[in-house]
Amino acid sequence: MVLAELGGRITRAIQQMSSAIVIDEKALNECLNEITRALLQSDVSFRLVKELQTNIKKIVNLDDLAAGHNKRRIIEQAIFSELCKMLDPGKPAFTPKKAKTSVVMFVGLQGAGKTTTCTKYAYYHQKKGYKPALVCADTFRAGAFDQLKQNATKAKIPFYGSYTESDPVKIAVEGVARFKKENCDLIIVDTSGRHKQEDSLFEEMRQLAEATKPDVVIFVMDSSIGQAAFDQAQAFKQSVAVGAVIITKMDGHAKGGGALSAVAATKSPVILIGTGEHMDEFEVFDVKPFVSRLLG
Ligand code: GDP
């Protein structure tokens, strides 16, 4: 179910409940059950959906609501604030500082959109006056360096990589050192992926993080992976200190639920969402407008 459809279903569930003559426990339960079904079909993990339902019921105590209170409004607000809470881990997103060098490491499975998103992230900061640079530490996928090189050239961002070196740690360390010397304030390290969650990938990520000491690790996740989102995000978080999430391919038939699951699994904020293949096709993520838009 695409995001707009999820929002529409939630809104309709609330409207239906409001049209009941009395909003009692039964009407509220029916509304929450429909919202639960919609969220599950949008790939929000079962655990999160259960939690949301319990929390809303805690906030909305129908017995306590004095007559004359606008119950629909109270329920609507509870749903809004619970959805916001699910997307807000309660810590601010990492912001690089212009006067000092920040190292940012991107991680994610192959095809998630890391290389594409690295350029988007660099391009976005370049426009804000930063001096970014890209390092290709993906030695696993043939063509990864060429892709990064092509993107970086288009965006006029300096890059570093190797066609011959097979040790990603060596490339990353050399690239970071070079761009530090050149006074770049945002050094972005693109890493390898694998088709699935494999020990060798996580070991490589650990070694890269150890060697480059990133200020933040950004987990990139394809929004179409469905219910696998929670486990995948958690697996990366257990290997490296993920501090931010980027959800890609939200322009396709994306289900929004993955974003909620990734936040819950990594306890990190979503910072950008990818909305296309080109470097300017992304949106800066902001919880409240996102949920408002979701609920129409
Ligand atoms: P990586 O293996 O994680 O580095 O993934 P890539 O950056 O190579 O991306 C894999 C594919 O997804 C490429 O064809 C990208 O053009 C495409 N892609 C990445 N982000 C987006 C996005 O936000 N929307 C769309 N439609 N495609 C994307």
Kindly calculate the radius of gyration of the chain based on its CA atoms and give it in whole angstroms: 21
Q: What angle do CA 167, 169, 175 make, to 5 degrees?
A: 105
Structure-block tokens of residue 265: 């699994």
Kindly state if the Cβ of 223 falls inside 6 Å of ligand 1: no
Kindly state if the Cβ of 249 falls inside 6 Å of ligand 1: yes
Look up the ipTM and state it: 0.99
Q: What's the 181 CA to ligand 1 centre distance in angstroms?
A: 31
Task: Read off the pTM.
Answer: 0.90
pLDDT in tens, 187-218: 999 999 988 888 999 999 999 999 999 999 99
Q: What's the 12 CA to ligand 1 centre distance in angstroms?
A: 34
pLDDT for the residue 24: 81
Q: At what angle do helices 25-41 and 46-59 cross, to 10 degrees?
A: 150
Kindly state if the Cβ of 108 falls inside 6 Å of ligand 1: yes
pLDDT for the residue 2: 57
pLDDT for the residue 218: 98
d(CA 39, CA 222): 18
pLDDT in tens, 120-178: 999 999 999 999 999 999 999 889 999 999 999 999 999 999 999 999 999 999 999 99
pLDDT in tens, 43-97: 788 888 899 999 988 888 766 665 556 777 888 888 889 989 888 888 888 999 9
- Range 214-238 average pLDDT: 92
Kindly state if the Cβ of 257 falls inside 6 Å of ligand 1: no
